[in-house]
Structure 1
Amino acid sequence: MRIVQIIDSLEAGGAERMAVNYANSLSDKIEFSGLIVTRKEGLLYNYVTKNVSYLFLEKKSSFDLKAIFKLRNYLKSNKVSIIHAHSSSFFIAVLVKILIPKIKIVWHDHYGISQNLEIRKNAVLKWSSYFFSGIISVNLSLRKWAQNYLKCPQVVYLPNFIQQSDASIKSLELKGVDGKRIICVANLRPQKNHELLIDGAFQIHKKFPDWTFHLVGKDFNDSYSEKLTRKVEDLKLSKTVFFYGALGNTQNLLQYCQIGVLTSLSEGLPLALLEYGLSGLPVVATNVGEISKIIYSVNEGFLIESNNVNQLVSSLKKLIEEEHTRKEIGSCLKSFVERHFSEKSILHDYLLWLKSLTTFAK
């Protein structure tokens, strides 16, 4: 097989990281593996392996003819048979398929607001889906939505998977006291609900002043991030809650933390949760998206309701006070993630599914 991944940017987001994961993982398993970035490079560029063929299109608009023909030439010269388009990059994939009709498009849906799919309407995506040979959904709700709304019959559920990070890439040094760190990996967006985390930090700080909170994720320098910064200052938590911005090698940071937290109002299947598990961290997370399937499956971890600061605080308090509980939960979650979200098992299913698509005309 000769497959390329297409993504709009290489900033440190979930869809972007999965595009890199697929490109890297396939590079020693198929004849040709490429990664194409349409609009913007970013931190994740440093994690693309040397075996991956890389192209940056520098696309300026939706109908950037220079970028479209640059992509067409690359696909033809490398004899690519399958375009694996992530999130909004599907449109340029469709435009180039019109120029190369034999090429197949697989669209990967990473949509993160799974609770409100009934209001998700996208006429361009619906039209484009006529050109798709297959659709990958990262959770079961998205698969059902694609089957009901889009015009491509071949829809499969494949969960995200985690690659072991390169330990040789230096991590940022975290602040705070060793052995007393709580981390949250989530871009600073309202749906991630960092306000709940800060409210919890305020209460935890009263009883456990040495424990600190470390927020890793892109700061969009908007009203939401300003609100969070102001809240930390107002609650006098500047030496307790730390913001680091977007970081590429977050997995290496987790070895210096003791607890992982996600306080989101909505999620799909968050990569952060899988990274926490792979690093052996116990987790406190809100009961949204596919999170309950992971935490309930191992019958461990602490699942809390959205915006319930009392549940957040009591869960963190138990993990802080009981080191043996932390280790037991973290070990159990790590084992579960390794069994069900490993690169090996998911890529096996992915390649089998792609082979099945060759029987279809698209």
Structure 2
Amino acid sequence: MRIIQIIDSLEAGGAERMAVSYANALTAKISFSGLVATRKEGSLKGQLKDEVSYLFLNKKHSLDFKAVFRLRSYVVQHKVTVVHAHSTSFFLVFLLKLICPSLRLIWHDHYGDSEFLSNRPIRALQMTLPFFSGIIVVNQKLKLWAEQQLGFKKVLYLPNFPSEGTMVLEQTVLHGIDGKRIVCLANLRVQKDHFLLLEIARKLQKSHPDWTFHLVGKDFQDGYSQQIKDLIVTYHLEKNVFLYGSKEDVKNILHQSTIAVLTSQSEGLPVALLEYGWNKKPVVVTHVGEIASLVQNGKNGFLVPSKQKKMFYEALVLLIENDMLQTEFGIALYRKIQGANSEEVVIKQYLNWLQNSHK
């Protein structure tokens, strides 16, 4: 097979990381693996293996026919047989299919607001998806939604998987005291509920003032991120909560951290959680999306209902005050991910499905 991944940007986000991870993993499994970024490049470009063929389309708007024909030339040149479109890139791939009818199209739905699917617009999907051979989803709610709302039969749930990627320069140095750092890998988006995290930081400042929070993720310089910054000042958390923006050296950051958290109101299967587990970090996370498929409350982490400040704080304190529990949770989560969410397991399922799901 000759497969390309299509993604709108290479900025650090969950869908973007998975597009890169698929492209990298497939280099050892198939005759050709490529990745096309349509609108924007970004820090993840440096994570691509040398063996991955890469194209940047520099697409300017939804109906950019020059970009479509550039993509067609690339597909023809490299004899591509399968186009794997991630998230919102499905429309461009649909246009490509109109001029390359022999191509097989797969859509990968990474929709993060899976708790609020009733609000999701579907008209464009209903128009374009009949041209696709299959849909991959990152949680069971999305699978049910694709089958019931879109009437699509060939839907595969594939968990996200952690990827070692390529070597990254270790340059981020976290503030705070060794052994007393709490990390949150999450772009500054409303669904990630950083406000809950700040409320917890406020409580922890009083009970455990030496502990600090480290927020790593893209700052979109919008109203939400400004509110976060304002609240840090209002709550007098300048020495307890630190913002770093988007960073590539995630493994290095996790190595400096003691506990990892996610306070999300909605998720698919967050890549951040996989990275936590792969690096043996004990976690406190909210019970949303597919998180419970990995985290068993009290066995390999603490699972808390979303928006529950008191419960989240209490779980965090239990971890802070028990070094042995930190170690046990970290190892147990690592083993869970290694068994069900390893690159080897997921890519094998993926290739078997492609081979057996011809239209």
Q: TM-score range by the shorter chain?
A: over 0.9
Q: Identify if the C-alpha distance between structure 1 residues 78 and 109 changes in structure 2 by more than 3 Å, giving closer, same or farther.
A: same
Alpha-carbon distance in 1 for matches of 2:46, 2:37:
13
Alpha-carbon distance in 1 for matches of 2:126, 2:11:
26
Alpha-carbon distance in 2 for matches of 1:306, 1:138:
20
Q: Classify the secondary structure of the residue corresponding to 2:324.
A: helix
Alpha-carbon distance in 2 for matches of 1:297, 1:353:
32
Q: Classify the secondary structure of the residue corresponding to 1:202.
A: helix
Cα offset for 1:357? 2.4
Summarize deviations over 1:308-349 as a string: whole Å, max 9, x none.
111121111111111011001111011101111100000000
Contact preservation (8 Å) 1:27, 1:51: yes
Q: Classify the secondary structure of the residue corresponding to 1:295.
A: coil
Alpha-carbon distance in 1 for matches of 2:39, 2:332:
40
Q: Classify the secondary structure of the residue corresponding to 1:266.
A: coil
Q: Classify the secondary structure of the residue corresponding to 2:196.
A: helix
Aligned pair 1:282/2:278, yes or no? no
Cα offset for 1:296? 1.9
Alpha-carbon distance in 1 for matches of 2:190, 2:147:
29
Q: Identify if the C-alpha distance between structure 1 residues 302 and 85 changes in structure 2 by more than 3 Å, giving closer, same or farther.
A: same
The letter for the 1-side match of 2:127 is W
Deviates more, 1:108-117 or 1:291-300: 291-300
Alpha-carbon distance in 1 for matches of 2:37, 2:233:
38
Q: Identify if the C-alpha distance between structure 1 residues 168 and 226 changes in structure 2 by more than 3 Å, giving closer, same or farther.
A: closer
| Unaligned segments of structure 1, at least 5 residues | none
Q: Corresponding residue for 2:354?
A: 354
Q: Classify the secondary structure of the residue corresponding to 2:319.
A: helix
Q: Identify if the C-alpha distance between structure 1 residues 300 and 154 changes in structure 2 by more than 3 Å, giving closer, same or farther.
A: same
Q: Corresponding residue for 2:195?
A: 195
Q: Corresponding residue for 2:160?
A: 160
The letter for the 2-side match of 1:271 is V
Q: Corresponding residue for 2:234?
A: 234
The letter for the 1-side match of 2:98 is I
In percent, how many aligned pairs have the same letter? 48
Q: Corresponding residue for 1:183?
A: 183
Runs of 4+ residues deviating >6 angstroms: none
Q: How many residues align?
A: 359
Aligned pair 1:94/2:100, yes or no? no
Alpha-carbon distance in 1 for matches of 2:92, 2:24:
22
Contact preservation (8 Å) 2:49, 2:166: no
Q: Corresponding residue for 1:81?
A: 81
Summarize deviations over 1:155-213 as a string: whole Å, max 9, x none.
11101011124455324111111111100011111111101111111111112221110
Contact preservation (8 Å) 1:126, 1:149: no
Alpha-carbon distance in 1 for matches of 2:278, 2:115:
26
Cα offset for 1:305? 1.8
Contact preservation (8 Å) 1:130, 1:151: no
Q: Classify the secondary structure of the residue corresponding to 1:299.
A: coil
Cα offset for 1:258? 0.7
Pairing of 1:240-279 with structure 2 (within 5 A): 240-279=240-279
Q: Classify the secondary structure of the residue corresponding to 1:51.
A: coil
